[in-house]
Amino acid sequence: MNKMIYGPVPSRRLGISLGVDIVPYKTCSYDCVYCQLGKTTNQTLKRESYVGPSSLLDELKETIDLNSDIDSITFSGSGEPTLNKDIGQMIEKVKEFTQIPVAVLSNGSLLWDDKVREDLSLADLVVPSLDAVSEEIFQRVNRPIKGLEIGKVLDGIKALCKRFKGKIYLEIMLVKNINDSEEEIEKINRFVKNLRVDKIQLNTVIRPPGDPNAKPLNKEELIKVKALFDPKLKVELIPDFKRETSRVYQKDLEQGIIELLKRRPTQKEEMAISLGVHPNEIVKYLQILEEKKIIRRSQAKDKSGVYFIVA
C-alpha cells in the first residue's frame, strides 16, 4: 500500500483536500483511457479488507492535528475506494472524531450493490463518475472489467440518487472524439435530467493521462457540451483553482520535481517513489508545471510510456 493519507492538496472542487487512499495502487474495476495513474494492474469487482479502520484513524488524527484548515477529507486515491469493504466503517469513525466534511470520489461502478450504497450513506458528498451511457462508448472510455455492463452502472447511480441524503456531484470526464459527440451528450442529458443530483461537473483530460491518445477538449468545446444539457440542471466546468497561491501549495515539492527532471527524464510513478509522495499529489504538480511550460511530456521510443522532461 502507498501512504494512506496524502496532502492536504489544493483541489479544484473541494478546496483544501486531505486525500485518503484505502486500496492498493491501481486496484480498480475500470481501466479508463484517461486515468492519470496509468494502467490498472488489479482489475476487480471483489471488495476486500485492504486496510483496517484503526490504522487509518491513527494516521488521519495525526495529520489533522498538524493542519487546521482542511476543507474536505476525501476518499479517492490509487483506484476505486468502494472496493475496500471497510469504507463504511471508516467513514463512520472519521465522522465520530471530526466535523470536517467527508467526500468520496467513486467511479460509480459498484453502486448497484446495496451494501456499497449503505457504506456511503454517512458521507457528506459523493462524486460518482458517468462518462457514457452507451455500451460501446462505455467500453472505450472506461474499459471496465469483463462482464460489467453500463446498464448495471446506471441502475446503481439511479438507486444512489433516490436514497442518499448528502450531496451528489456527477462527474463527466470528456475525452476528445470518444465520448464528446452531441449524440452521446444528449443521451447522458436524458439520463440525468430526472435524477436528484446537486451538480454535474464537466471535466476533461488536463492531467497527464496513462494513454497518450486520450486528448482533452478545449474551453470552447467544453462550453458547447455544457450548452447541450437541460437548462434546469446545474452544470459547471470545473473551475481553475488558484493553486500556486493556495496555502498548501508546496514550492519545495515543485522544486524537487524540477531538480529530478533536470537530472533525467522520469515517469510519474518513479517520481512519486523518489520524492516520497503519493502519485495523486505528483500529478497535480505535474499539471501545474506543464501549464507553466516548465516541463513537458515525452513518449519513450520503445513505447514504455510517458516520461517528463524539463521544457
Question: Can you give the binding site for ligand SF4, defined by CB under 6 A?
Answer: 28, 30-32, 35, 37, 40, 79-80, 107
Nearer to ligand SF4, 28 or 56 (CB): 28
As measured in angstroms, the least distance from the Cβ of 104 to ligand SF4 is 12
As measured in angstroms, the least distance from the Cβ of 267 to ligand SF4 is 16
DSSP code at position 266: B
222 touches 237 (CB < 8 A): yes
Residue 203 in 3-state DSSP?
Answer: strand
Alpha helices (runs of H) in 245-295, residue ranges in sequence order: 251-263, 268-275, 279-291
Nearer to ligand SF4, 142 or 261 (CB): 142
Nearer to ligand SF4, 72 or 280 (CB): 280
125 touches 166 (CB < 8 A): yes
Pick from 215, 20, 229, 227: nearest CA to 130: 229
Nearer to ligand SF4, 132 or 261 (CB): 132
As measured in angstroms, the least distance from the Cβ of 140 to ligand SF4 is 13
As measured in angstroms, the least distance from the Cβ of 79 to ligand SF4 is 5
Residue 288 in 3-state DSSP?
Answer: helix
DSSP code at position 9: E
Residue/partner pairs of 271-279 with CB below 8 Å, 24 or more apart: 271/308, 272/2, 277/6, 277/253, 278/2, 278/3, 278/6, 278/7, 278/19, 278/21, 278/77, 278/78, 279/2, 279/25, 279/37, 279/78
As measured in angstroms, the least distance from the Cβ of 231 to ligand SF4 is 29
Nearer to ligand SF4, 61 or 85 (CB): 85
Which residues fall within 8 angstroms of residue 192, CB to CB, at 6 or more apart? 130, 170, 200, 229, 233
As measured in angstroms, the least distance from the Cβ of 262 to ligand SF4 is 29
Nearer to ligand SF4, 72 or 107 (CB): 107
